[in-house]
Chain A
Amino acid sequence: MDQLLSFEDQLSALLPRLRRFAHALSRDPADADDLTQATIERALRSRDQWQPGTKLDSWCYRIMRNLWIDTARTRARRNRREAPEEEGLTVGEDPRESMDAAVDLKKIMVAMSQLPDEQREIVALILIEGFGYREVSEMLGLPIGTVSSRLVRGRTALLAMVGEQ
């Protein structure tokens, strides 16, 4: 069926999921949309490098993730002297609120922000985006054991932060 859809249509169909992943990576709505836009542009420009028959979603997620790494690196250099945003966000929050069943996006975002980048991306790809271990291992070019151990560490840390029920 996919073969009948144009590259643009397939990419278009992926946008809602790509935006979701962009939010998980960047933890900021404006950054997320910029990242999604940059991913679309890169994907359109590099469409010749995508092999029809392989999964377009994995390919686009990888583009987005690599763009994000570049961005994060640039930003880290620029913001070196500024206080991390996460510190500001957590000040004054009552930790007991996190015990509520309805943990909203903001709280999850704050918790996600505490994870190292390499754990956050794997938590997002597997627990939120629903990819399998092997797909993520191929997407990121990492051994499956590394994917598994980062996932264990990331989800364990998240659970400790958002609270058990």
Chain B
Amino acid sequence: MTEDGKFFAWLDGELGPAEAADMEAKVAADEQLQQLAEQHRALRAQLRGAFDPIAAAPVPDQLTIHPSAKVIDFAAAKRVRLPSLPQWSAMAATLVLGLFLGTKVPQHGSSLVAVKDGRLYAASALNHSLDTELASAPRGDVRIGLTFRDHSGEVCRSFTASAASGLACRSDGHWRLKGLFGAPEGQGGDYRMAAGMDPNLAALVDSTMAGEPFDAAAERAAKKEGWR
């Protein structure tokens, strides 16, 4: 430790007894050091004086941890079952309007989702991405995550757009949406987790997938086969 470092370590009570006694004697014999010690004690008091009221103030309500605080927990998300289909479709349709109207996904058609016979299907740019994009060669604003087969043998693909992520599976030559999840509220910008799927989507993928996800070669081959 430098001499300066030692002086401050003494001031902060960080020296052992012998070293502290040495420094104590040194300071006692040196007026400049005494003055410096005083100034730094005052600085510390100023810092505490300025910041301690923050710790003494009541914590804002929104920061209080309630026992029921929502924790994003993969296992827990898995246990949550999706509501039955008609109810879910209506909910998803609402979500879709809200989310996809606000996305920056380039749209040539009007909506990224089409409703047909009460079922949701990928449309326009989303449909195009699901048809053509490879996870191994990402382009554009819709990113493809996993491609795999479900328990009935159909190809499914997870995707992420700027405000939502979801899962679509082949059904009669179209991409039928199995789930669509919005980015969680309050996770805008800075603190968004860089990696990781929405836990609800992860749970849906987990329960839908039969076997292993496709690797790059299997994904390319499936594309060539028209996702059959």
Contact = CB atoms under 8 A, between A and B. Distances in A.
Interface of A: 6, 8, 11-12, 15-17, 19-20, 23-24, 33-34, 36-38, 40-41, 44-45, 67, 70-71, 74-75, 102-105, 107-109, 123, 126-128, 132-133, 145, 148-149, 151-152, 155, 158-159, 162, 164-165
10 contacts: A19-B63, A24-B51, A33-B60, A34-B190, A40-B65, A41-B191, A70-B190, A127-B48, A145-B1, A162-B43
Q: Which of B50, B60, B72 has the most CB of A within 10 A?
A: B50
Contacts of A102: 49
B69 interface: yes
Interface residues of B, number: 40
A105 B63 CA distance: 22
A132 B65 CA distance: 28
A113 to B, nearest CB: 13
Contacts, number: 115
Given A20-B55, A128-B47, A145-B1, A133 B12 contact: yes
Given A105-B50, A127-B43, A132-B14, 13 more contacts: A12-B64, A33-B62, A36-B63, A38-B190, A41-B72, A74-B189, A104-B50, A105-B54, A127-B44, A128-B47, A145-B1, A151-B8, A159-B43
What are the nearest 4 A-B pairs in CB distance?
A38-B191, A108-B50, A20-B55, A16-B55
B206 to A, nearest CB: 18
A88 B9 CA distance: 35
B4 interface: yes
A15 B65 contact: yes
Contacts of B47: 108, 123, 127-128, 158
Interface in B70-129: 71-73
A90 B21 CA distance: 42
Interface-central residue, A70, A107, A148, by most chain B CB under 10 Å: A148
A158 B43 contact: yes
Given A145-B1, A165-B42, A103 B63 contact: no
Contacts of B190: 34, 38, 70-71, 74-75
Contacts of B1: 145, 148
Contacts of A149: 2, 5
Contacts of B64: 12, 15
A158 B221 CA distance: 63
Of B2, B51, B62, most A-chain CB atoms within 10 Å: B51
Contacts of B54: 16, 19-20, 23, 105
Nearest to A153: B4
A143 to B, nearest CB: 11
A15 to B, nearest CB: 5
B137 interface: no
A64 B46 CA distance: 24
Given A38-B191, A126-B12, A8 B69 contact: yes
